[in-house]
Structure formats: C-alpha cells, structure tokens
Amino acid sequence: MTESAFIHRFEPATRAGSPPLLLLHGTGGDETDLLGLGKLISSGSALLSPRGRVLEHGMPRFFRRLAEGVFDEEDVRRRAHELGDFIADAREQYGITAPVAVGFSNGANIAAALLLLKPDVLAGAILLRAMVPLSDPPTVDLAGKPVLLLSGQDDPIVPAGNSARLAALLSQAGANVSHRILPAGHQLSQADVTLARDWIGNVDAEAA
C-alpha cells in the first residue's frame, strides 16, 4: 500500500456474498478491538479494521478533538479523506467491494464523516453511539444508502438531541436511516449486537 496505509487487520471472507465490514474502533482501541463484534454481526464477512492515526494521551483515535464532544472539524475533514483513500487502496489490494462501516463512538463519528464527505466509499454504515461530526456539512446525495444508528438513552457522552440531529441530517441527504434508542449508556449491549446482526442480514438479503 501507499502512504495512505493505516496499521490494520484484514480477514478475508469465509462466506460468498457477505458484505465486507469496515471496523472502526473507539478512543483507545486498536485494529483488533472490533473483530469479534464484526464476526457476531456478519459471520463470514471480510473484515477490514484500521487503527486510528491520532493519539490522545497515547490512545488511538481517528481524529482530534478539542474537548469532550468538541471536534477539531478541520482535522475531521482531513482524516476522513485519508481514511477514504486507505479504503480505496484496501479494496484494490484485497479485492473487496465497498464495505459497510461498523463504528463505535469515535469510530462511528469518522464513519458519519465519511458518509458526508466521501459517500461513495461506503455501502452503508452501522453507527454505534455516534454524534454529528461536522457543524456545517457539505450537501451530499446518499441516495437510499442504508444506515443503522444505535443510541443509548442514558449515554453521558452523546446528548439525545445530537444523535437525533445526525439521524435527520443523514435522512435529509437521502440515506435510509433506522435510528433506535436503547436502554443503555455509552457502552455496547447485547441489544446492539442483535439489532446490528438483524439489520445487516436484511441489507444483505435486499442486495442479493
């Protein structure tokens, strides 16, 4: 790969026709964090899992933030384009189609930024505890792109109004958004796994 490469893990598909997944970890995670989740959500899918390039007190992230919930939006834009270039390179190297992003927290936020800035990079997205990544996003056509947004009603990090704004923003851009609010905090629950697995199974069936 070129200089657009991220430290990453790739696991090839074991079931033909399964959508490849792009796994995007939260703050302090790495390229191994969501491999197990990916297998639970879509057994047999190819898994592409990069490590965020930004360090915050030694913890990997996908972009800088100025404070809790306050993003460095210039960095968000730059890092989203870098990640988009990496995905394009990885698709060529590994021979995969456009992936469905599965992002948690910071990883969900960069996935949302990809949808808004480089919409052709992703086939869809599962956004776990995501926030609006850009205060002034560009006009984009998401043309029915499937998105599952799972929020926690007791999440101390993501305000309910913020996740609702993200759902509205993506819907207005044409995405087919399903937004579910779960009885959970910021951490993931079994309900997240079950809903994500059922959702991607439906998306897979529709694609077939």
Catalytic residues: 105, 155, 186
Contacts of 50 (CB under 8 A, 6+ apart): 6, 7, 8, 22, 24, 31, 83, 86
What is the biggest distance separating any 2 CA atoms in the chain, rounded to whole angstroms? 44
**Alpha-carbon distance 42 to 184, whole Å?**
22
Single-letter amino acid code for the residue at 136:
D
For residue 150, what are the β-bridge partners? 128, 180
Question: If we measure between CA atoms, which residue out of 54, 46, 45, 106 comes closest to residue 82?
Answer: 54
At 112, give phi and psi (nearest 5°). Answer: -65, -40
